[in-house]
Structure 1
Amino acid sequence: MEHILSPELLTAWPSIRDDDQFVIDVGIACLGILQIPIHPIKRREGYATEDRYNDAVGRWQRKRDEIYEQWDDLSDERFSALTRLVEVYDGEILSSMIEGTKDSASQLPDSFTCRLRLNGKGLRDFVLNFPYLFDVAEVDELEFAYSELAATSEEVLEPLKLEPPDTDAPRVCVIDSGIQERHPLLKDAIEQHDSKSWINTETDVADYVHQGGHGTRVAGAVLYPRDIPYSSTYKPICWLQNARVLNQDNKMPETLFPPRVLQEIIEHFHKGSAHTKVFNHSINATSPCRLVHMSAWAASIDQLTWESDLLFIVSAGNISKYGDVSKPGIREYIVSGRRYPNYLFLPWARIANPGQSLQAVTVGSIAINSVSGIEKSFAGFSEPSSFSRSGLGIWDVIKPEVVEYGGDFVYDTGHPPNIKISTENSPQLIRSTLHGGSLVGNDNVGTSFAAPKISNIVAAIQSILPQEPALLYRALLIQSARWPAWTSSYPDKAQVIKHIGYGIPDLNRAISNSKYRITLVTTGEVFIRAGQVHVYEVKIPEDLRSPADAYDIRVEVTLSYKAQPRRTRRTRQRYLSTWLEWQSSKLNEPSEIFAGRMIELANNNEHADTENDSAPSTSSGAIQWAIRERSDWGIKGVSRNHGTVQKDWVTIKSHELAEGFCLAVIGHAGWAKDIEAAVPYSLVISFEAVNQDIEIYSRIEIANPVELEVEQTIEVVVPS
């Protein structure tokens, strides 16, 4: 049962009474014992003629389609069995039904998830006797962020004229508690005709949360990522769209099932006329994410991202100021002797559901100021906020990937201390005036307000590259991130990554180059299959490689890909249909030697994680990237390969660069047995003169006069 029940249900299991009532999310496996056979390409040399091989491929395709149909039938049978069990105990299936079948929004390739209301007796029968059950969890309790301060900021001194964004400007959908759409600092940037509510009626889209709202604050942070510009006119980079899913208490009703709601939101906003790509989801559970199975909520984000060209920006979640023994807050940690920032690495402080989603960008918070005096801030400038949940995430994926300025709490000298919100260390946010108060206030903190600042950057990238895939937006966002100054002297770099991921993104680096920095990107979605290797080469001009010079060149690489998830699986490699990694050439390594080495690597690791690769970490000429591809290399305890976005960086002397700097993207088999299955990716590489002592943009541009394309595509065929 420890592999099926959530920790809370497992603890409560011995004391569950027959008449106790539970609302639970359950995962049911649907694959049975059927498996797609090995594709004939694996043994192609065994066929006498091409016609016989083609016949074998045709038989394989028919068998694959038959198995898909049998999976669907098995899913229907198991859903019917679940329905009968629930009815026996007078329970209720709360997730929406469509014509008597499973809710398609909660359907994943190997499983389906339902939200049930069931008594204790039925729950025990269900867990002990339903053979296809792999996950049971009580419905997540959501955070309730609220303001403690009254109208703390002066009104806008000069009337701010908000101009509408350009007609074709990007859209950012705010999935939250609604928005005060007639707010003078928001109204001209909201597409009100698309607004929709999943609370009460579809048109009831206002933000009813007391003390300044929540969704209104989030929406304001998308438009105004820094302080409100007190100028005569302001033109936002994007339009806002309003998807209300939280009630006046900042809660999601139990009858709303997140996979279903998110599917409907995508149908309405992404598949509608606006074709929205960016979705801000500043909603989290109060508890840390689980580490065995991906939650239904997070898996639905991964599935929706796989199905469509879009990107979710989600918050990492907050640790409360005060809690209890079962759910400790910051004060409980301090009383127990665990000081900031040490408590941020405890299991209870791990990122909250759905922040563990592999294909969303998860955002943590850092402090705006260092406050001292009678009341002191926990964090210094740009240090992790005292409430910001940390990674690593499920399967040791780097989470959060990035951070932004969400503020910090302050504390006094009491025993135990009082923990408060301070105007000195709170971001300036738009406030809802539905219940009174000022238009603007520095009266709330949280990762909820860090995430929309990242959405602003992503929207700016989309405005520059509107036809490019969201995978490239994510890659450029992560590529632009850097660690702040305090990290240079911080001894444990693994803790830095757990706190702030890749660091703080920078809009200018994300969307532009300079004389001293050049960024090269793939265009469109580039597809790769398991067993393939794509090799890229960037020509480095001779005058940049002169032995007489020793310029410090910072090289950064980011790979962003997506794959189809399977929620029943318990490892990253098997959760994804195909998983990718990138490798670089060694110093002064010719491209043909590098390509051959990549073939060998792909052969050795087609069915394994490179964590099992026994190659030495300091082989001759190997570039010493900061993180590295194994958790026992580079920054110990962290691997860049575990996520679907993989960044690394290194500073190299210019004369150490080879004539061609090569990168390889390697596809590895996950759960997918279909040799024809391919996954898309975007790849970004940057070169920068650290000391701005040599102009490299024009040099590299001249050396690479055409768009870089795949240098070679290598098929790796391994005997079955």
Structure 2
Amino acid sequence: MPIKPNYPVRRDVNAHANFIQSKLNDSYERSKNQKQAAAIRYKNGVYLEFSGSLGHEMSVKSLEDRRQGIRLLNVKENMGTKQVKATVYIPDGKEAHFLNKVKAYATEVSKESGNPKNNDLISSIEDISLAMLESFWTGKIDDMPGDESRWCEVWIRYDVKKSKKSQITSNENQAMNSLIQCCETLKIGVNEQSLTFPERIVKLIFANKSQLTNLINICEYIAEFRRAPEQTSFFDDLSGSDQQEWVDELLARTDFTDQNITVCLLDTGLNSEHPLLFPAIVDPASIQAVNSAWNSDDHDGHGTEMAGVALYYNLKEKMSGSHQVTINHKIESVKILPPRGENSPELYGAITEQAVFLSEITNPKAIRTLCMAVTAPNYNTDDGSPTSWSAAIDSITSGVNGDGEKRLFFISGGNVHPIELNSSSYPDVNILHSIENPGQSWNAITVGAYSNDAIISSSDYNGCKAIADVGELSPYSSTSKLWNDKWPIKPEILLDGGNMVTNGADFSECEDLSLLTTSKDFLTKPLTTTWGTSSATAQASWMASQIHNEYPDIWPETTRALLVHSANWTNKMINQFRTDDKKTVGIKQLLRTCGYGIPNLEKAIECANNSVNLVIQSELQPFKSRKMNDMHIHKIPWPKDVLQSLGEIDAKLKVTLSYFIEPGPGEIGWKDKYRYPSCGLRFDVINSDETLEDFKKRVNVKMRGDDRKDSGDGTKRNWYLGPGNRDVGSIHSDFCEDVAINFCDTNYVAVYPVIGWWRERGYLGKSNEKIRYSLIVSIETPEVDTDLYTPIVTQIEIEQSVEVSIEI
């Protein structure tokens, strides 16, 4: 059943209608007066800003009427107040459109619903005013130009019409010419490059606040303004001495802390004397090589490039800003690639293990994140089954070959090369290019890439356009769409990997669409660019270090879970890949290309009043004497009275379960998913109509599942992914959306084991081992005034998790 929109209820229809009518008339009158007083030509129409009620939705789709020329330009939601605002263009002569809707709202009743006519639209509007510059500005208001001119993105609209002959026509040129003429009138600089999307054109203009305000007054095609970020090519094109000035300026406002939180790069080495990196080096001994004959310096450049991203995350943003920067983690490096030739494939796993141990021996007390953006596409598996290298990483992370210490490990998914687009179009090329070895690892987080830039300013790329839009999968990113469904979801998360460009025939990298970072040749030119899943993996490692800075004592399993739990897809990713009408097929394609989406660090670290993460770290003994043994049932302290009071308001329940498996000994059984992992864990949530005893019995039955099928969730809740998609690998995350009142009784979550080689190979003496896990459960509502946090914390002080052990 679809969830009803959360529109406000207006008790006095006539009073609300009169108020909205007066706001419309007042706005039209003010617009008329401004036009009469203007010294320059005014646009033919008016821009209005419609505001919704705090914490409620607004029927924005009803604000547009293409037949009348009334166009919805932009929609913004304040994340703090949860207020929606929409900017709308109304052409001259169409002012009565909304006045007539208000009149019908006050005087007519819909036969179907019994509500006032146009109820959804008019009742959802809280206020109307003339649109000001702030109405068009997307992003931080502080980024808006002041008296000094700055480069800005201007997004202009153009109409697309379908004629009787089914021919599509547009006024794209008309809109563009109007903008250019208006900019000439106001003496606003315009960049020659442009970016065209359906119904939108993006241009770069050089303007101050006054000029932007006047541009709104005279141009009827404005949809929104955004800050134009400093293009990466600006820094890349600077001379070495000019780059050094920017480096010195950044260092002057950067503080480096002494905390022992590190990112350890397993790569081509590191030129640690780089001025942007040197203050964050643990000590010279932490810059090492697996083979001392290789030396520890960076012979290729890739390792130093990774370090700049892993340390600063977005170096271009920090370089362009003026605020104080704090770096709260350090960099380590172990060189795993020789300066000449290559390692023998059978040594990949042993070399990786040796590198990890070297870093730990040198700095045994570090809270460490392992980061490796080195893959081997030529030594891969076609179906996603483990390789000796990925299995070695599973051993390293699970601690089976050492003292049992668990480790957090990030691996790049591997890159699509631009030449591959000559034979396959984007994004089909990403589907055809599978995750590269050792990205099959169950315990490591394999990182893919999305595109965060699409505007090109460098004259070196005249006539070129970006391949992917902002928020879409990066053309570089590999996927697991072609893998057998029984192997893990890869990549798990996406971060910024840049974009490619094309002139229609050729495809290539582009500095403007890449990430700024540190160069190995720092004495001559300290800055360079990087891209692909490598930069995305370095960004993921940076995120992990921020979580460790906030919570230094959490398990690696938990850091991994927080990143996945906080991730979401963009709407553009959903539109790209969830194209199949069949829900299961569409979701599977989205999941196997984009993983769980882009992680949100703020969500991973913090709990807001209306969105709370409950984190449980525990361990259970899955088997006993080759029989199923433990399951845990955790009582979740949801504030039932608060959820009941919210009634029909939307809410989202999300559960993430993370654990590390011990890989199966030898490849003899790897074709069977129950033979590779030591054991698997699953989660389940109590049904609305279940007693606790019935819930225990139902989960107990699932634990009896044999090795021929993995009995899935089986609950009646409408999980978005469902057990068939989520219950692979060693991290499982899913969510369901419903009205808040229906989540009142989701107060028990079970964690239970499924079969693995620990039980099946009892002769290896592992059948009585224990496994750690991290469970994250969250509930979220759009109501900013709803305090879920306080009653949950109060209950936690009183109640503890209920752990149930059942022997089968």
TM over 0.5: yes
Residue 493 to residue 332, structure 1, CA distance change in 2 (3 Å):
same
Aligned ranges 1:283-298 → 2 under 5 Å: 283-287=374-378, 288-291=380-383, 293-298=385-390
Task: Identify the residue that residue 262 of structure 2 maps to in structure 1.
Answer: 171
1:537–1:591 Cα contact (<8 Å) kept: no
User: Paired residue for 1:571, among 659, 667, 672?
Assistant: 672
Task: Identify the residue that residue 237 of structure 2 maps to in structure 1.
Answer: 152
Aligned residues: 532
For residue 418 of structure 2, give the secondary structure of its aligned residue in structure 1. Answer: coil
> Per-residue CA shift, 1:21-62, capped at 9, x if unaligned?
xxxxxxxxxxxxxxxxxxxxxxxxxxxxxxxxxxxxxxxxxx
User: Is 1:264 aligned with 2:358?
Assistant: no
Task: Identify the residue that residue 396 of structure 1 maps to in structure 2.
Answer: 487
User: Paired residue for 1:664, among 719, 732, 750?
Assistant: 750
User: Paired residue for 1:535, among 614, 624, 633?
Assistant: 633
Q: Which has the larger radius of gyration?
A: 2
> Per-residue CA shift, 1:682-709, capped at 9, x if unaligned?
1111111135352322233234334742
> Per-residue CA shift, 1:498-553, capped at 9, x if unaligned?
22100001111111111111111113656544432111121332322327721211
Aligned ranges 1:376-455 → 2 under 5 Å: 376-392=465-481, 393=483, 395-413=486-504, 417-433=505-521, 438-441=525-528, 443-455=529-541
Task: Identify the residue that residue 396 of structure 2 maps to in structure 1.
Answer: 304
For residue 450 of structure 1, give the secondary structure of its aligned residue in structure 2. Answer: helix
Q: Quote the Cα distance in structure 2 between the aligned partners of 1:587 and 1:200.
A: 62
Task: Identify the residue that residue 25 of structure 2 maps to in structure 1.
Answer: none
Task: Identify the residue that residue 553 of structure 1 maps to in structure 2.
Answer: 651
Task: Identify the residue that residue 467 of structure 1 maps to in structure 2.
Answer: 553
2:450–2:498 Cα contact (<8 Å) kept: yes
Q: Which amino acid aligns with 2:413?
A: A
1:574–1:670 Cα contact (<8 Å) kept: yes
User: Paired residue for 1:496, among 581, 590, 593?
Assistant: 590
Q: Quote the Cα distance in structure 2 between the aligned partners of 1:588 and 1:541.
A: 19
For residue 539 of structure 1, give the secondary structure of its aligned residue in structure 2. Answer: coil
**Structure 1: which 5+ runs fail to align?**
1-146, 323-328, 334-338, 631-638
**Structure 2: which 5+ runs fail to align?**
1-231, 400-404, 457-461, 580-585
Q: Which amino acid aligns with 1:452?
A: A
**Cα displacement (A) at 1:286:** 2.7
User: Is 1:364 aligned with 2:455?
Assistant: no
Q: Which amino acid aligns with 1:494?
A: K
TM (norm. structure 2) is 0.62
Task: Identify the residue that residue 429 of structure 2 maps to in structure 1.
Answer: 343
1:539–1:659 Cα contact (<8 Å) kept: no
Q: Which amino acid aligns with 1:267?
A: F
2:621–2:630 Cα contact (<8 Å) kept: no
Q: Quote the Cα distance in structure 1 between the aligned partners of 2:536 and 2:619.
A: 29
> Per-residue CA shift, 1:236-268, capped at 9, x if unaligned?
12110011122446x643388122112212222
1:216–1:432 Cα contact (<8 Å) kept: yes
Task: Identify the residue that residue 511 of structure 1 maps to in structure 2.
Answer: 605
User: Is 1:321 aligned with 2:405?
Assistant: no
Task: Identify the residue that residue 116 of structure 2 maps to in structure 1.
Answer: none
**Cα displacement (A) at 1:572:** 2.2
> Per-residue CA shift, 1:364-399, capped at 9, x if unaligned?
011122247721111111211112101145633210
1:474–1:560 Cα contact (<8 Å) kept: yes
**Cα displacement (A) at 1:591:** 2.5
TM (norm. structure 1) is 0.69
Higher relative contact order (CA 8 A, sep 6+): 1
1:514–1:697 Cα contact (<8 Å) kept: yes
For residue 389 of structure 1, give the secondary structure of its aligned residue in structure 2. Answer: coil
Q: Quote the Cα distance in structure 2 between the aligned partners of 1:256 and 1:715.
A: 43
Task: Identify the residue that residue 334 of structure 2 maps to in structure 1.
Answer: 243
**Cα displacement (A) at 1:608:** 4.6
**Cα displacement (A) at 1:599:** 1.3
Q: Quote the Cα distance in structure 2 between the aligned partners of 1:429 and 1:459.
A: 18
Greater CA drift, 288-297 or 398-407 = 288-297
1:172–1:240 Cα contact (<8 Å) kept: yes
> Per-residue CA shift, 1:212-241, capped at 9, x if unaligned?
x11011011111112341347533121100
2:412–2:533 Cα contact (<8 Å) kept: yes
**Cα displacement (A) at 1:465:** 2.0
Task: Identify the residue that residue 117 of structure 2 maps to in structure 1.
Answer: none
Q: Quote the Cα distance in structure 1 between the aligned partners of 2:592 and 2:384.
A: 19
User: Paired residue for 1:702, among 788, 794, 801?
Assistant: 794
Task: Identify the residue that residue 768 of structure 2 maps to in structure 1.
Answer: 676
Q: Which amino acid aligns with 1:593?
A: D
Q: Which amino acid aligns with 2:547?
A: I
Greater CA drift, 309-318 or 569-578 = 569-578
Task: Identify the residue that residue 352 of structure 1 maps to in structure 2.
Answer: 436
2:411–2:444 Cα contact (<8 Å) kept: yes
Task: Identify the residue that residue 280 of structure 1 maps to in structure 2.
Answer: 371
1:475–1:682 Cα contact (<8 Å) kept: yes
State percent identity of aligned pairs. 23
**Cα displacement (A) at 1:585:** 1.3
2:415–2:477 Cα contact (<8 Å) kept: yes
**Cα displacement (A) at 1:653:** 1.0
Residue 525 to residue 179, structure 1, CA distance change in 2 (3 Å):
farther
**Cα displacement (A) at 1:361:** 0.1
User: Paired residue for 1:689, among 781, 792, 796?
Assistant: 781
CA RMSD between the two structures: 2.7
For residue 304 of structure 1, give the secondary structure of its aligned residue in structure 2. Answer: helix
Q: Quote the Cα distance in structure 2 between the aligned partners of 1:522 and 1:704.
A: 12
Residue 601 to residue 253, structure 1, CA distance change in 2 (3 Å):
closer
